[in-house]
Amino acid sequence: MAHETLVELFKNRPSLAAEMLVEVLGIPLPPYTGARLTSIDLTQIQPAEYRADLVVVLIDGDAPVWVLIVEVQLGVDPRKRFTWPEYTMGARAAHRCQVGLLVVAPDPDIAAWCAAPIETGIPGFVLRPPVLGREAVPIVTDPADAARRPELAVLSALAHGGTEHGAKIAAAVLPAIRELDEERARFYGDLVLDSLNEASRRALEAMMKGYEYQSDFAKKYFAQGRDQGRDQGRQEGRREGERAILLRQLRARFGELPDAAVARIEEAETAVLEQCAERVLSAKTLAEVLDEPS
């Protein structure tokens, strides 16, 4: 889901990749009036298929002026050192215009690997992939900026939601996305709130109580979050009680328990605890209770 989420953000705002190249990475682009998605199929005459995560065409009027390939990279994949040059040249040939590449790599180590120059063997043709890492993603805390580019604001939350900026980013994003269609608003709302750590969640809830623009949408999500938290707390409390009772029963039947048996009980979910509790009265050995082969 992490990979598909990032692809979806760039898909929902086709110009976002170009904006990141210019505003964050300082790569100049030709003047353009719009951006549209195009086929991700970059297959050439060769039998192999090459499909990028996303391909965006920047247009001036109706004419393509730049084709931009977006790749989300969450791990080291040596094959990319060969396919990325193929992507760029295939897209250049297909659209008859200049081509660019943007690699989105949240992990710093992966970003460093992605940014390494790719020697193609052709004199002068060295591909240096521009990489958008987590730290480079802008911190969006202005509600007006969030409303103007909600996908960038959500990307900001994904990158920085667990930091001290998380609450301010979320406070800007949640009211902004209420103007979107219901499906996209729910999707973005889930992403933003899921990106926050517990401290940011508490700070955000305190901040939004005092904001005049607090939306019903955001209130609903916070209510759901509190309810889910209480339900999860109750469920975990019941499991802890079941574990404690089962351990007492086992010690009464079999004496002091091995550390491995205690660890297994402490990690067990409700269904396993219930099965063990059913066997504890009739079992002759501890292994029979834990359903271990003798």
One digit per residue, the tens of pLDDT, for the chain of length 294 reads 578 888 888 999 999 999 999 999 999 999 999 999 887 665 443 434 457 788 999 999 889 999 999 999 989 999 999 999 989 998 898 888 999 999 999 999 999 999 999 999 888 999 999 999 999 999 999 999 999 999 999 999 999 999 999 999 999 998 888 888 888 888 888 888 888 888 888 888 777 664 443 445 445 555 555 555 445 555 665 667 678 778 877 887 788 888 888 888 888 887 788 888 777 767 788 888 887 654
Q: Tell me the two tokens of residue 166.
A: 């998380």
Distance, in Å, from the CA atom of 176 to the CA atom of 159, rounded to the nearest integer, reads 18
Q: Tell me the two tokens of residue 199.
A: 């401290």
CB-side exposure of 117: number of CA atoms within 13 Å? Answer: 6
Q: Rounded to two decimals, what is the model's pTM?
A: 0.65
